[in-house]
């Protein structure tokens, strides 16, 4: 299966897509993926594909334009940190960042810098 095949786990922010590896078998209580909808403008700004089966979970989190001093806009980290990956439990922010590709870590750093510079 190619890295960007439809069944692969992936993270998408606007038009940028990152591969997270092969899909999981559906785990009980684990969503098929997440859809990120902005609390400020209602835009679908990102998505995470985790499994090939199950239901999607809709998350209302601000996009990069509507983040606040308390919530980093355009960030994927909070839900991934809360629920992690079933095959590798995430216990801390550091252990989550180790699992993610360098490009996603750079994206998260950019979103955090945007939060600090605009609030």
Tell me whether strands 56-60 and 33-37 are parallel, antiparallel or unpaired.
parallel
Is 86 contained in some domain? yes
Is 3 contained in some domain? no
Cβ contacts of 65-70, under 8 Å, gap ≥ 24: 65/38, 65/40, 65/41, 66/38, 66/39, 66/40, 66/41, 67/111, 67/114, 67/115, 67/118, 67/119, 68/115, 68/119, 69/115, 69/119
Is 114 contained in some domain? yes
Is 39 contained in some domain? yes
d(CA 83, CA 70): 20
Is 2 contained in some domain? no
pLDDT 10s digits, 15-61: 888 887 766 555 566 778 889 999 999 999 999 888 777 888 899 99
pLDDT 10s digits, 56-85: 889 999 999 999 988 999 998 877 777 666
Q: What is the mean pLDDT of the chain?
A: 81
- Write down the pLDDT at residue 2: 43
Is 96 contained in some domain? yes
- Write down the pLDDT at residue 93: 79
Is 4 contained in some domain? no
Q: What range does the domain containing 39 cover? A: 9-118
If one counts the domains in the chain, the total is 1
pTM, whole model, 2 decimals? Answer: 0.77
Is 23 contained in some domain? yes
């Amino acid at each position: 299966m190619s890295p960007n095949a439809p069944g692969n786990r992936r993270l998408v922010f606007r038009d940028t897509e990152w591969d997270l590896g092969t899909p999981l078998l559906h785990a009980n209580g684990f969503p098929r993926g997440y859809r990120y909808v902005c609390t400020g403008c209602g835009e679908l700004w990102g998505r995470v594909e985790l499994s090939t089966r199950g239901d999607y979970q809709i998350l209302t989190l601000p996009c990069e334009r509507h983040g606040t001093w308390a919530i980093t806009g355009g960030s994927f980290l909070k839900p991934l940190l809360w629920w992690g990956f079933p095959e590798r439990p995430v216990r801390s922010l550091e252990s989550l960042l180790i699992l993610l590709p360098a490009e996603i870590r750079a994206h998260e750093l950019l979103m955090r810098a945007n939060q600090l510079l605009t609030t």
